[in-house]
Structure 1
Amino acid sequence: MGKETTPSETEWLVMEVIWNAEGDITASEVIRTLKDSLNVSARTIRVLINRLLAKGIIRYEVDRKDSRVYHYYVVKSKEECLREKQERFVRNYFGGNSTLAVASFIEKAHLSDEQFCELEQLVEKMKENRKD
């Protein structure tokens, strides 16, 4: 298996804060937002931020007025990370077979008739888009 390039579950919580920020965000702002809800130390959150940097999901710029302050910004969108996670999941657990993965989820989902109808409409829409 290759190097993981998407956020882990805990890193995802940090990314939610960064994705939802209007522009860049400092580590202090991320810590302030997450410290109580995650019940972890500021140091742990900084470690998570460093892991996200190492994975290339975020980058930073040093503050012009205070070189101790870093402003983090998104490199990979939430949609891109979701797509990569989905692809890796299908590859690792379903041998790359998307049909098998979707069938497995649908079988276990206990869908209502309305939800089945929505899925049918989605499949039809996807078929039409492939023709274009």
Structure 2
Amino acid sequence: MNPKKASSLPPLSPAEQALMDLIWRKQPVSVGDLLRAVNDGRAEAITRSTLQTQLHRLETKGWLLSDDEGRARLYRSVPSEKGGRGKVLAELKQRFFGGSGLSLVRCLVEEGGLSKEEFDELNQLIVKHQQGKKP
């Protein structure tokens, strides 16, 4: 399979997004390790077959690749975490904020419950971008 650019990938459901978050942190990851991570702290555990169905869907959509390594099948993401999260953010911005980045940031600032440290970091990021520096 040719890796796709994140922008060309189909959208993720909330459950798929949560799974991708785990995969980005733990990749390459086996079904067994992923199942333990998914069920950690859950009141009602999901089954191995449910997880495998979700992984198959993500593979079909182009978000994941799998390789058989020894006895275990290992999964890794196709897009980088930054690229994948950017894709999800662009969809969120379009769907909930009419494509306006300012509206999205305004919502985070006014309703998002940002900590003082997060506000300070946001201000530093804005200043760097105004000066033409990339973080």
Q: Do they superpose with TM above 0.5?
A: yes
Aligned to 1:40, the other structure's residue is in SS state: coil
User: What corresponds to 2:47 in structure 1?
Assistant: 41
- Which of 82, 102, 126 matches 2:105? 102
Aligned to 2:46, the other structure's residue is in SS state: coil
Which one has the largest radius of gyration?
Answer: 1
Residue 37 of structure 1: CA displacement? 3.8
Is residue 27 of structure 2 the alignment partner of residue 28 of structure 1? no
Aligned to 2:99, the other structure's residue is in SS state: coil
Structure 1 gaps, min length 5:
none
- Which of 24, 33, 41 matches 1:19? 24
Please give the residue correspondences for 1:7-86 in structure 2 after superposition, counting only pairs within 5 Å: 7-21=12-26, 24-35=28-39, 37-38=41-42, 39-63=45-69, 69-86=72-89
Deviations 1:59-108 (A, max 9, x none): 01234x55xx4222221222222111111111112211111221222222
TM-score w.r.t. length of structure 2: 0.71
Aligned to 2:75, the other structure's residue is in SS state: strand
Task: Say if 1:11 and 1:115 are closer, same or farther in 2 by CA, change over 3 A.
Answer: closer
RMSD: 3.0
Aligned residues: 125
Aligned to 1:29, the other structure's residue is in SS state: helix
TM-score w.r.t. length of structure 1: 0.72
Q: Which has the higher contact order (CA 8 A, sep 6+)?
A: 2
Structure 2 gaps, min length 5:
1-7
Query: Among the aligned pairs, what percent are the same residue?
Result: 24
User: What corresponds to 1:5 in structure 2?
Assistant: 10
Distance 1:74 1:122 in 2: 28
